[in-house]
Amino acid sequence: MNYLEKINDEETKYVCEAIPSDELKDYLRKNPKEFAKLMPGFRPTSIKADQTASILLRFQKKPFIRSFIEKHIDLWIRSIKDNIEQCKKDGDSEYQALLHTFPDCYFANNISLYFKLSDSAIEQSVLSILSEAVQVILKQRDDSPKGIDVEKISERMKESERLINEKEAEIRKLKKNIAGKDKNLSKHSETIEKQEVIIAELRDNLKKREKETETAEKEKLKLKHACEEVEKESKAIKRENESLHEKNNVLDNALNTANLQIEGLEKKYADENYEIAGDSSLVRPVSKSQFKEFLSYNLEDIGLSTEKAEGQLLVDHLTRILFLGYPIITNSITARNIASCVSNSITGLSNFKSLSYVEHIKAKHIVHFLNDSGRVVCLDGFLGNYNEIELFEILRQYKNKIIFLSVTYEKTLKYVPVEVLTYCEYLNVLRFPEMAVVHKIGEDPALLEEEKYELDDYFLDERTLKLTRQILEELGFGNQVIIKYLSQITGEEDLNQALIYSILPYIYDVKQENPYMLSKRLEKYAGERGRAPYKDIILRWFGINE
């Protein structure tokens, strides 16, 4: 058959979308082994109707799926040909047979595709008229006036009136001849009856055209209103563009301010010698429970509920990663919100200092900024623009600070080596609607006593260690990154936090792949039948049906 070799991607998509979902499910149920090779861990019954086309398109080159599509195309073509032949036997002309067939076939909205697949020759002008006629039939069935050409309808009405006048004149002529032609009376009477039937049909058609014209006029009025709405929307877009232009001017002013800031720093620190005043010692609150309580208050203040499971998990996760001495990579808006909440929960201040990347910024500028800043800081736009090796070497000497490395878009990290996760923590809380905009903190600031500390040795149980390693390996993380995660996870609760706010969003949002399609172990652990304690959250945020 080899139909798919004859058509392009758009035409292949049309065919795949036309195939009924139930027929695909039935085919997959009858061939479970082949289906398991394509989509391991899934059942045919779980496939939804709107997923049929995407599955067929994704695996169209696989012989198992390709033969299924080819057989459907062949069945459709043979069915259409048989129906056309039957219509001809019933008395239809060639074009009547086509018009009786195409409105009820799978190629109704792409008739040219049928002729292409069946290798049937047809003139382009005839094909255009045929396609338009089929669409008119379909629209009339749906009782939709859209697409009716008022001028063509008027022409048809005039033609109908002309035919009626001609037929009536012919009848009058026949009636005059009847009186003098008794022998042909019977024949003329029969002709008159036929002509009267034709006239009646033409009058009916005329009435239909009149109704169509009336409907078309109404549709014109609707289109006029639609045009007015489009004009309003166009004006709104114009106003929005003006607003964006104003915002762009604000950003330009901010960039100029940043450049002036750099120039000021250049003058202040003209020499290349600079001294790092940081501390590589780890620091944490003396009372972890008190910090968690204050952090919860601040997150609640910006609208994020910590009573729900995902909110409480975020508080626990932040409490675990903030004091490990690693810079935290996160979205720019997220960084502002989280940094404000953290600063307000521990330093007694709701604000924090931020340094934006600008061209020609140097290591001494970063060091001077860190030396002059407080406990919580943010470096914005450095990843992907600044030398990562030099940047991490500087930040490694400021473990006494909570440092956020913010990026404007998650896709930015797609072009940064994954090994960056060896030296940083990745935090993604974009699935909280409250994190989509920057909030002003209204909660009273708290100042907590902190202490230097060293990481405790611990022994991760064998099952969790093996589970974590297997998931990370199947997701494509390198050994260095895996070792780093294993050094932080002390149990299954930590693993679930890391999956929800670091590992899985990195795969889903940065790599733009579905983790359930990459890791069988993840599917077994956090799938529908898995035993992960927070599988409902994981499935809802990163599952195949999202």
- Tens digit of each residue's pLDDT (9 = 90 or more) over 275-292: 777 778 899 999 999 999
Residue 112 tokens, joined: 């040219």
pLDDT of residue 182: 58
Pick from 93, 134, 92: which is nearest to 112 by CA? 134
Q: What is the pLDDT of residues 357-413, one digit of tens each?
A: 998 899 999 999 999 999 999 999 999 899 988 999 999 999 999 999 999 888 889
Amino acid at 67: S
Please give the angle made by the CA atoms of 333, 412 and 358, to the nearest 5 degrees. Answer: 75
pLDDT of residue 122: 83
Rounded CA separation 424/426 (Å): 7
Residues of the chain whose pLDDT is less than 70? 1, 143-168, 171, 175, 178-189, 241, 243-274, 458-459, 544-546
pLDDT of residue 253: 65
Pick from 27, 20, 15: which is nearest to 57 by CA? 15
* Residue 370 · residue 394 · CB < 8 Å: yes
Rounded CA separation 529/535 (Å): 9
Residue 177 tokens, joined: 């001849």
CA distances from residue 81 to 1, 6, 84, 130, 131 in whole angstroms, order as listed: 16, 19, 5, 16, 17
pLDDT of residue 150: 35
Burial class of residue 343, CB neighbours in 10 A (0-12, 13-18, 19+):
buried
- Regarding pTM above 0.75, the answer is no
pLDDT of residue 507: 95
Furthest-apart CA atoms within the chain: distance in Å: 127
Does an H or E element contain 18, and which? helix 9-18
Please give the angle made by the CA atoms of 231, 234 and 239, to the nearest 5 degrees. Answer: 130
Rounded CA separation 279/400 (Å): 5
Rounded CA separation 130/99 (Å): 7
pLDDT of residue 164: 47
pLDDT of residue 78: 92
pLDDT of residue 153: 37
Q: At what angle do helices 309-321 and 288-301 cross, to 10 degrees?
A: 130
Rounded CA separation 58/12 (Å): 11
- The position carrying tokens 């009186």 is 179
* Residue 423 · residue 325 · CB < 8 Å: no
pLDDT of residue 168: 57
Query: How many other CB atoms are there within 10 angstroms of residue 505's CB atom?
Result: 22
> Which 3 state secondary structure label does DSSP give 506?
helix
195 Ramachandran zone, left/alpha/beta (phi>0; psi -120 to 50):
alpha
